Homo-oligomer: A and B are copies of this chain.
Amino acid sequence: MIIHLKNTVAEEEAQRIAEELQAILIAKEEIVLVTPSKLQELPAHLTSKVSKAVAVPNDIQLASKLYMNETRSITIGDTTIGGSSNNTLMITGPCSVENEEQIEKAAKFCVEQGVKVLRAGCYKPRTSPYSFQGLGLQGLKLLAKMRDKYGLKIITEVRDASHVDDVIEYTDIIQIGAKAMYDHGILRRCGEARKPVLLKRGFGSTLQEFVQAAEFILSGGNDEVILCERGIRTFETNTRFTLDLCGVAFLKEKTNLPVILDPSHAMGYAYGVPDLARACVAMGIEGLLIESHPTPKEAWSDAAQQLNFDEYAELLASLKSVAQAVGRKLV
């Protein structure tokens, strides 16, 4: 149950009530308590202290449409997604920061195409210790340089809790990778941060678990959570993962969080990305994350799935028509 306390309730009393109800306390303009969802009725002796109370059927609480009946609005620079906007945010860039020359080409390409957010990984969650692991802090600094030089916003991934503070410091949107979706160390620090967080769905995670991971951030006091579907693991291996658009329909219906899609990681092969990207935009979503690289074949990671710049430019043109057909605008 989500309980908004009246402004007349002092913080000390709020703390006492939180303890009584085993609730998490979020202190903002109002004090909000979130109890385990099994609490379905407000105890009578508290009624006078409460301005609003919403019972929900399970632990999708702050993210639920039952609590807030429209998509949350999130602002990145001068751009807004969600809320009453019909914006679909374009994000592109290479899988990894490899060196300054490469990331600068990517930054310039964003500017040229009117894309406002540059993505690239610095801490790569590789499954083998014998592969390239990312440039780490050096990569973060190169990204920050691109932001300053080209007026772009930056999104990059935090891989584990040992470097979460560095990523929070250097990036504009904090990306939590699919393999780190359950990482409490990251989720709690993102809950304290005051920057948008893009939370990727674990490829073995249910929709319920996915949104509950977002609840860790929301209940930590950070309202700006974006969900990102990037493909789940199924028995099919001719494609890298399986993009779960049925799941996206569920998220749009049941939650108040903006949804951004990543068809590149789902497909794993550049040939399928344009068709899938058009399908994603036709779903009416808040954003689209596509990997592109100046020379995909030479990429240090995920070489097969990155588009080259010509392919991306051609795709972007076609996406504009699709967005228009469903009443949305690419930004």
Contact = CB atoms under 8 A, between A and B. Distances in A.
Interface string A162-205: 11000000000000000110111110100000000000001111
Interface string A273-293: 001101111111000000000
A253 interface: yes
B247 A239 contact: yes
B249 A242 contact: no
Interface in A14-42: 24, 34-37
Given A129-B24, A326-B322, A276 B247 contact: no
Contact of A179 (B182, B267, B284): B182
A8 interface: no
Contact of A236 (B161, B207, B213, B280): B207
Contact of A271 (B128, B243, B253): B253
Interface in A250-284: 250, 252-253, 266-267, 271-272, 275-276, 278-284
Interface residues of A, number: 82
B246 A243 contact: yes
A85 interface: no
A269 B160 CA distance: 32
A232 B238 contact: no
A209 interface: yes
B185 A161 contact: yes
Q: Which of A129, A179, A215, A276 has the most CB of B within 10 A?
A: A129
Contacts of A241: 246
